[in-house]
Amino acid sequence: MAEKEDAVPQEFRGAAAGGAFVNTAQVRRGLQFLINIGAPLVVGAMRGESQTALAAVVVGMAFGFADSAGALGSRLRVLAIDAICIAAGAALGYVSRNNDALHWPLFVAMTVAVGVAPLTGRTLPLTGRHAVMAFTVGAAFPSALNPLQIWYVLGVLLLAAVARTVDHLIAGPLPRQPAVPLQLPSGRGGWLRYAVAFSGAATAALWIGRALDPTHTIWVVATTLVVMQADAHASYRRIVERIAGTFAGVLAAWLLTLGLPSMAFICACILVVAPLIPHHLANRYWLHTALIALMILLAYDLANGDGQGLLSERVVDMLLGCAIAPVGTAAAFARPPTSIEEAGDPAAAQRSDRPPPHADGSE
């Protein structure tokens, strides 16, 4: 019996009926999402400030994704990097929102940087995408910025740091989240080709979104950013599964908000969904997408009371983003991708001290 227990991976502890082991690492990640999302949600609802707290709810979810494996120092470092990237992106978007001569070059430069970020490991591709999303949101903000929104976001940052610290003190280092290894762009110019194609697709999404309205811009750009990965197969799979997952999430949100249910009911639904978000990223991306779409649409309904009106718009935005991404992916992977091992990358040994590119934790 002892030999059987020793064979169980470190992140699995305890046993359920029938010998099925519980992945405590995933439970811990789910609790972080619940805390980051649930705290600003409940405080905002109790204070009658759900609309003001909406940004903190979304940022809290982003902080949940930006959680590194390993010791506390590493986890707090990734959280700090993500917070800095989000703040910088939002500030640049807000400052350049009425100046196209500044806005477009900044956006292109940021997306090119995100395109080459997988060469550095797993952190910067995720936090860089968050920075670009924040840039798009900042550009869509009205001229009058509500300072209380900033306090909510700062509060969820502090809460995330505290929750991460308590989790480490109780359970120790956090095991790495399962992820599917990515293939790499082939040839000497592979990464540059991918970065240019990634930036081109994101820029096209920004242009199309701005031709509609600022709200559409946020969703179209975000969809393009998260489905276009540095791997052709992963990108095409994400596109298909995101379409299926968004439709499922929209349908669930429509059913839950039908008949104008109470604020308590909507809050309870979000609190149930929040801890489930990180569990399906690697193997069931459609369900991962469905849960995110459901959570965000319910939060919008709680904040603005127009969740039903947003449903069809979000489907259109998702379809636009998923239509742009295959074009960029086809341009990026004109030749069959090869893995590090297949390519015999001479720099692979020098990078052995950091993880190879994986499917990142973005939504």
The pLDDT tens digits of the residues spanning 207-251 come to 998 888 777 788 899 999 999 988 888 889 999 999 999 899 988
pLDDT of residue 302: 85
The single residue listed with the structure tokens 């280092």 is: 173
Q: Is the pLDDT of residue 260 over 50?
A: yes
Let me know if residue 361 belongs to a domain: no
Do the domain assignments include residue 10? Answer: no
Q: Which residue has the higher pLDDT, 16 or 68?
A: 68
Question: For residues 85 and 157, what is the distance between their CA atoms, to the nearest angstrom?
Answer: 13
Q: Please, which pLDDT band fits residue 4 given cuts at 50, 70 and 90?
A: very low
Confirm whether 183 is domain-assigned. Answer: no
235 within a domain of the structure (yes/no): yes
Higher-scoring residue by pLDDT: 285, 121: 285
Q: What's the total number of domains in the chain?
A: 1
* Model confidence band, residue 254 (pLDDT cutoffs 50, 70, 90): confident
Instruction: Check pLDDT > 80 for residue 332.
Output: yes
> Which has more confidence, 118 or 142?
118
How far is C-alpha 82 from the geometric centre of its chain's CA atoms?
11
pTM of the model: 0.84
Contacts of residue 182, defined as CB under 8 A and 6 or more positions apart, other chains included, come to 118, 229, 230, 231, 234, 356, 357, 358, 359
State how far the Cα of 33 lies from the Cα of 46, in Å rounded to an integer.
Answer: 20
Q: Any alpha helices (H) in 274-306, and if so which ranges?
A: 285-304
Distance separating alpha carbons of residues 324 and 298, to the nearest angstrom: 27
Given a cut of 90, whether residue 152 has pLDDT beyond it is yes
Is pLDDT above 90 for 112? yes
User: Domain span at residue 135?
Assistant: 22-176+188-335
Mean pLDDT along residues 86-99: 93
How does the average pLDDT of the chain come out, rounded? Answer: 82
Q: Residue 327 corresponds to which tokens in the numbers above? A: 């074009």
Whether 54 is in a domain gets the answer yes
Residue 362 within a domain: no
Task: Please state, in angstroms and rounded to a whole number, the distance separating the CA atoms of residues 82 and 75.
Answer: 11
| Tokens, residue 3 | 């030999």
- Give me the helices (H) in the chain, please: 2-6, 24-46, 50-65, 72-95, 100-116, 123-140, 147-171, 190-212, 214-227, 232-257, 263-273, 285-304, 307-332, 340-343
Q: Hey, what's the torsion of the CAs at 257, 294, 36, 129, to 10 degrees? A: -140
* pLDDT score for 304: 76
14 pLDDT tier (thresholds 50, 70, 90): very low
> Lowest-confidence range among 36-50, 162-176, 274-288, 349-363?
349-363
